[in-house]
Amino acid sequence: MSTQSWIYTALSKSDAFRKWLHRALCAWERPVYNGYKDPEVMALIKQVCRESDMRITTAEAFALYAVARAQRTVEGAYAEVGVYRGGSTKLIAEAKGDKPLHIFDTFAGLPDASAHDEGFFRKGMFAASLEAVQHYLADYPNLHFHPGWFPETAAPVAEENFAFVFLDVDLYQSTKDGIAFFYPRLSPGGVLMTHDYQFPGVRRAFEEAGLVPQVIELANAMAMVVKR
């Protein structure tokens, strides 16, 4: 068993330990990055981390915000699949300006993992309340919620083009479905960003789509491709 598999197996035993470790990592990263990143963005990330049990680290959150903000200059809407309690969604909502943001999640947690995924994931993990997330994000304009199982929920945006898409779905099949739906709909210069690129299922989905040669790996488990 790899060190990484061992860590994830250990983390899967206890939600409390997982949350404690995540908070500790957020707290540890802050001083490291605070020194040379925009202090307002760092304060926002710190606040979101506190409020929402956000499942990305501080360095990942900064990369998410920075890329989402830059994509304002590209034609098309924004989308996120994998919202949980809305932490990463809030960062995208802060960065997007007036762009529409399409928000996809089961809100019942993860679907079944496949044979390509790490044993860490369980069905129903990261379940969250749709109403609570809507309330959390109520101040942001032009948000569109599509609760339910993606890609079944994608029909209302089938005619859209996208400037920025963030996938944070943990699993092979959900990542594969996300790439298959969104990559052809990205505008030229559009970005498809993913979390969890270190997981074999997520990486496999990018391999099968033929996108690995153009993947740009970012902080920690973040990666992205730019549509050419």
Ligand X SMILES: C[S@@+](CC[C@H](N)C(=O)[O-])C[C@H]1O[C@@H](n2cnc3c(N)ncnc32)[C@H](O)[C@@H]1O
In the bound state with ligand X, the residue whose beta carbon lies nearer, of 163 and 169, is: 169
Contact 164/74 with Cβ under 8 angstroms?
yes
Cis peptide before 151 (omega within 30 of 0): yes
To ligand X, the closest distance from the beta carbon of 74 in angstroms equals 21
Site for ligand X in 42-61 (CB under 6 A): 54-56
In the bound state with ligand X, the residue whose beta carbon lies nearer, of 71 and 174, is: 174
To ligand X, the closest distance from the beta carbon of 152 in angstroms equals 8
The residue within the footprint of ligand X, chosen from 8, 65, 120, 126 (CB under 6 A), is: 126
DSSP the chain: --HHHHHHHHHHT-HHHHHHHHHHHHHHHHHHHHTTS-HHHHHHHHHHHHHH--SS-HHHHHHHHHHHHHGGGSSSEEEEE--TTSHHHHHHHHHSTT--EEEEE-SS------TTS-TT--TTTT---HHHHHHHTTTSSSEEEEESSTTGGGGGGTT--EEEEEE---SHHHHHHHHHHHGGGEEEEEEEEES-TTSHHHHHHHHHTT-GGG-EE-STT-EEEE--
Site for ligand X in 73-92 (CB under 6 A): 81-84, 87-88
Contact 226/164 with Cβ under 8 angstroms?
no
To ligand X, the closest distance from the beta carbon of 57 in angstroms equals 10
Alpha-carbon gap, residue 7 to 21, rounded angstroms: 11
- Binding status of residue 106 toward ligand X by CB under 6 A: yes
To ligand X, the closest distance from the beta carbon of 44 in angstroms equals 14
The residue within the footprint of ligand X, chosen from 67, 79, 110, 205 (CB under 6 A), is: 110
Strand partners, 226: 191
Residue with tokens 């590209």: 74
In the bound state with ligand X, the residue whose beta carbon lies nearer, of 62 and 126, is: 126
In the bound state with ligand X, the residue whose beta carbon lies nearer, of 160 and 189, is: 160
- Binding status of residue 149 toward ligand X by CB under 6 A: yes
- Binding status of residue 170 toward ligand X by CB under 6 A: yes
In the bound state with ligand X, the residue whose beta carbon lies nearer, of 33 and 189, is: 33
Which among 5-13, 33-41, 132-140, 162-170 is the span making contact with ligand X, rule CB under 6 A?
A: 162-170
To ligand X, the closest distance from the beta carbon of 60 in angstroms equals 8
Alpha-carbon gap, residue 165 to 80, rounded angstroms: 6
Site for ligand X in 172-211 (CB under 6 A): 174
To ligand X, the closest distance from the beta carbon of 213 in angstroms equals 26
Footprint on this chain of ligand X (rule: CB under 6 A): 54-56, 81-84, 87-88, 104-106, 109-111, 126, 149-150, 168-171, 174
